[in-house]
Every structure is written in C-alpha cells, then in structure tokens.
Structure 1
C-alpha cells in the first residue's frame, strides 16, 4: 500500500502516519523528520534547510525530490509506505509520479486531513516543538505558504481520483479510526 498523508501544518500528519505505519506494517517516510535530523546533526543539508525554514519558506523542490527518491531506493519500501510532507508542490507530485512509473507502481490513497485554520494555529503553538517559526505571525505565514504552494497538489491528485477527505478534528484515536475505516474499505 502506497499512501500520501496530506494537510496543512498542524493537521496531525506525522502522528497519524506513525499509527498507519504500525497498523499496516508499512514504513513512514517523513521529509520533515529527515530534515529535522539533518538540522539537529548540523549537516550541510541541515544548515541549509534550517535557514530556509527560519525564513518560513519551503525547501526547494529539487532538494526534496532528490532526498525522497534516494530514500525510496531502500528495499524496505518495496511493499509500500506512507509519505508525510511530500509532495508539497505540483512539480514534486509530477516527479513522484515519474518515480512510481519507473518502478511500475501506483499510489493507492491520498488522505487529506481537513482541519479549520483556528484549530491548526492552536495546535502548532501548543505543541512546543521549539521551532523558530512557531509564533502566531510565522504560523499564519506557513499556512499561507501552504495554501498558495501546496493546495494545488490537492487539485492535482483530485484529477487522478485518489483523494480521500478525512475529518481531522477530534481525538487522535477518533481521527485514526476514520482513516482505518477508509483504508479498509
């Protein structure tokens, strides 16, 4: 099973992706985790990504695609995976389609976590990750960047008829049960 979990910052993608990974025995590939690890370890990529994120911007498509394509070469992804934080732009989505095509695979589900903006801002500010861009103004900027640059990805996948909207409000368990019901049907 190859799944993309999608939604704005603070929607709970990482949390739900981990639960899906455990439930269905597929690896969770989070570009955010890869970037956070690089930042923490102060690798060249980490330093570059940190300065981009500190400005409230998105990491360039080529860097992200390169990172994901390289990671997906690992055998552990042969039987499926859940992608979290990728693709974030239409060029990334197109590049991902090419990656799938090369491997003669297809996307099984595109899960869209739907959460109102007020709830997103509250979640981000209360989760205390300590990101330098976790201020109300920067959070609103990130949500605006998401709307402008990432929302077209949703439209791209709607044309492929793989988008499944999931109500992302409620307890972690309630949201996960909605996802399970969807994936099991």
Structure 2
C-alpha cells in the first residue's frame, strides 16, 4: 500500500519591502512521505519570496515535483496555462534546469543543503546559456532552524528588507540571508 501525503496548512503574512509586495497567502501543502520538514519549509519560503507583485495573471502555487517528475516544486502559470515562473528546490541536475529554462519565462532555484558549494562547482558551467535562470543558496543552518516552524497548521510572518528575510511564527524569528549564485538582479 502506498503512503499518502500529510496535509499542512500555512497562513503567510508577507511584507516584502524590497519589491513592494504585501500579501496574505493561504496555502495547503501536500507533503510527500519522503519530504523533510526542512525541504517543505524551504518551499514555503520560496513561495513567499517569489510571490508576484501583480496577481492579475495568477499566483505562485505549490506543484507536485515529488509526485510528478515533469513538475517543479512551485510554479506560476497564467490563465492560458503558460508557465511564467518555474521554481525548483534542492540540487537538480543541469538537464532538468535547462529544460525548465526552455519551458518557462523565468526559473528560480533555491538550494539549501550544506553540500551546495560542491554541487554548484560541478554544475555552474553547464547552465551559462540559461539567461532566465536565477540560482540562490540558502545557508543550511538557517533552513534547519526554519524546519522547527513546521506544524500541521502554521501562522507565519515573512518580512524582507535589504535582501534579508525574517521569518517568524509569532514566538521565534529566524533570519534567512539568500546568496545569489547566478542570474539577473
């Protein structure tokens, strides 16, 4: 018998002062049995950090990357089903990222493992043609601390200023400082 997803719900209050994006985001997360708290919370953070300023063409949504190999962790599709933003989490191979760069207007990758520098050294030269790809590294000690926020029902505040994200659950705050490894500003 196959294992089923565990359902999590998050209410995110976003105040991104760098991009002037302010939103209340409600999201239901179907967590794959093999997904860790850390990876799930990185997906939630990526959702907040990638939330579109203009939602007239839809919003960023959690996709089925661990269930469906042709889907990313998150994506923003417009009402014509065109992929505006493809978001990956972790350390995918170069072929997956190049395929995504060909399918979407914009691609973001959020790498968070402590082995990211070694992985990036081996893959960076293979991605130079992907002009629409932005790669971010999240410090693993910060994402591990973020994993402690994983609850079946979450109320999170995400504030972004000067490239730094502050994530709070109302009791504890964690500073997350993404480092851009590649991509346009």
TM-score normalized with structure 1 length: 0.35
| Higher relative contact order, chain-length normalized (CA < 8 Å, sep 6+) | 1
Considering fraction of residues, name the structure with more strand: 2
